[in-house]
Structures are given as structure tokens and as C-alpha cells.
Amino acid sequence: MRELVETARRWVAEGRAGYLARPVTEQGFGPRDPAGAVLIDTRGECVGTLYRGVFDAELAAEVAALPAGVTARVCEVSVRASEAVAARLTCGGQAEVLLQPLSAIPAQWWELLGDGVGVALVTRLNEAADQAASEVVRATDAPGDDAGRRAGELLATRRAGRDALYAESGLVLVEAFPSAPYVVIGGGGELADIIERQALLLGWEAVLVTGPEEADKVLEARRDAACLVMLSHEESFDVPTLRVALTREVPYVGALGSRKTTARRREGLLAAGVTEAQLARVHGPIGLDLGARTPAETALAICAEILGELGRRKAAGALRDADGPINS
């Protein structure tokens, strides 16, 4: 969704009749981008990605047929197994896709998305699903109803997500787009480079810092999304930087090192005034226990732990050993 900001703003400024299409409900498809959306104008131009473009032509035809005054249209679409293979989707599936004119979406939505702010959009449809009203919800806003509470819950996971609720007036679509994780890597070297590449592959941001003063500035500027990965073993660097991260309550704090190094950092942090409760937030030694040995495997274990922590998982485990929805 964030990649559509500039196009949406330009189309609105040009007075172009554009529509935003995104799923309300989904079944199947396998792993997919929870932030997937596409902009469509009345001439059939499509910008963005939704199911690898399988439905673009169908959605463009729906847009062209929308009568004046309609502010929403929910379209049912489906992909058979053979079509999924051709489109390089994991598997087929069905979805209900909401088409909504850009004129019905608050300008503030695009402004906050463009600024990288964590924000949610709550869209209420009437029973006929041909009229919609959208409102912007920030993580700091007090929840006014079930939709507002759900928006806050989704934003708290720090991962993009959508959910559909049913109210007396009709369907309510809640779309949350938290700030992307900002991985602050303390120290350099091969592992730092691979972690940076892994973070970018996940759609996160990443930066390498080489000293406590530089780290302090970055953590302060991005405290809502910062994930500290301390690789340096220098006491003049790791202890003060870990203390700052804990004091500022950044979402994730991890430190690479042996049991001995972890114990040394613990003593240094206690001496610096860090509490036991704050120390419990440090992932040290860092990373999930995947049996990692190489730098690439270690980077994977670290990023996987960050992903699980931001998703509020109590413990990572095999899907076969768990019950409930796979993509919850």
C-alpha cells in the first residue's frame, strides 16, 4: 500500500477518477502480501500488486461499469489451480475485493502512509455494499468501538494486516499498516551486511551504526520501530547502546555473544541502572535456536526472532505442532 502513495496523490491532484482495490476476505492463495493493493483508473491503467495481476482486467472492467454516486463495490473473484500455476501463485483461491474511489478516502491516509507513520484505515460499508465511509486511526487514538479496538490490536503487532468485522450497519474493513521495522545494527562485518540484506528482503529498513552516539540518535529518531541488533563486543559501545534501547522501550533489543559475553553485558547494564524487568527484554544470546552456524544462517535466525517478537508470538515452533489458522 505504501508504494501507491505518490501515484494516489498525483491522480487526486490531476482530478483523475481513480479507485483503490484491496481484499476484504480471502481464502486460499497460500502466503501473500497482507499489504497488497492496486490503483485502477477508468481507462484501465493499473498500478500496484494484487495476486500478481490475475484480476487486473476483471477489476478494471468493474471500475469502468461503476455508476455515478457509488462509493464502493465488492467484487467476488476466484483463481483455479491452473490459473494459479500460470500466474506463479502458490495455489488458487477466492476473494472479495473492495473497489473504492480515491475521492472517498481521506487525504490524511496517504499523507501518514507517505511519512511512514503507523496508521490504520477503517472503512464502513452499508448493507448493500455500494456506499463506504473511511476514517483514519492512529495507534495513539482511543478506540471508539470494536473497529477502533481491532485497528489498535493490528497496529500493535507491528505487521501489516487486514480484518473484516460485521456491524449492524454492514461490513467494516480494518486495514493496519504499522511503521516498517527499522533494524539498527551495532557493529560491522560480514554478519552485519547479511542481516541488512535479509532485513531489506523482508521489506524492512536497516542501518549500520558504529558507536554509541550515532546509535543514540537513530534510536531516538525511530524509537517506535527500531529493532536493535548489537553485534559489537566492545563494552564502551554495547552496554550504553543497550541501555538506551531499553530505556526508550524500542520494540526489539537483541545482542550477539557467548554466554560469558552475555553475563558481562548483564553486569554492566545493572551497574548502569537498568532494572531486572528491563533486562528481561534483551534477547541475548540473540536469535532463534535453528542450529545456525554460518553468517547467513545466523542472520536468518536473528531476523526470524525479530519477526516473532514483533508478531507477539510467545514462542516460535513448528506449524504442525500448533492448532488454529496458519496465517494468523
pLDDT in tens, 126-147: 887 888 999 999 877 888 889 9
N- to C-terminal Cα distance for the chain?
A: 20
Task: Give the pLDDT of residue 53.
Answer: 82
pLDDT of residue 32: 75
Is residue 324 predicted with pLDDT exceeding 70?
no
The pLDDT value recorded for residue 40 is 96
H/E/C letters for each residue in the chain?
CHHHHHHHHHHHHHCCCEEEEEEEEEEECCCCCCCCEEEEECCCCEEEECHHHCCHHHHHHHHHHCCCCCCCEEEEEEECHHHHHHHCCCCCEEEEEEEEEHHHCCHHHHHHHHCCCCEEEEEEECCCCCCEEEEEEECCCCCCCHHHHHHHHHHHCCCCEEEEEEECCEEEEEEEECCCCEEEEECCCHHHHHHHHHHHHCCCEEEEECCHHHHHHHHHHCCCCEEEEECCCCHHHHHHHHHHHHHCCCCEEEECCCHHHHHHHHHHHHHCCCCHHHHCCEECCCCCCCCCCCHHHHHHHHHHHHHHHHCCCCCCCCHHHCCCCCCC
- Of 24-28, 106-110, 191-195, 294-298, least confident by mean pLDDT is 24-28
Would you state the pLDDT for residue 128? 78
Name the percent of the chain lying above pLDDT 70.
Answer: 95
Intervals of CATH 3.40.50.720 along the chain: 182-310
Residue 3 has pLDDT above 70, yes or no: yes
Share of the chain above pLDDT 90, in %: 61
Per-residue model confidence (pLDDT) at position 89: 81
pLDDT: which is higher, 254 or 114 = 254
Fold of 182-310: Rossmann fold (3.40.50)
Least confident segment among 158-162, 174-178, 196-200 = 158-162
User: Could you read off the pLDDT of 33-90 as tens digits, one per residue?
Assistant: 788 899 999 999 999 988 888 888 889 999 999 888 888 999 998 888 888 888 788 8
- What is the pTM for the complete model shown? 0.70
Of the listed ranges 2-6, 30-34, 46-50, 160-164, the least confidently predicted one is: 30-34
Q: Per-residue confidence at 322, pLDDT binned at 50, 70, 90?
A: low
Residue 259 neighbours by CB distance under 10 Å: 9
Residue 270 near residue 279, CB atoms below 8 Å:
yes
- The cell for 116 is 511512514
Query: What's the confidence (pLDDT) of residue 243?
Result: 97
Residue with cell 476476505: 25
What pLDDT band is residue 326 in, cutting at 50, 70 and 90? low
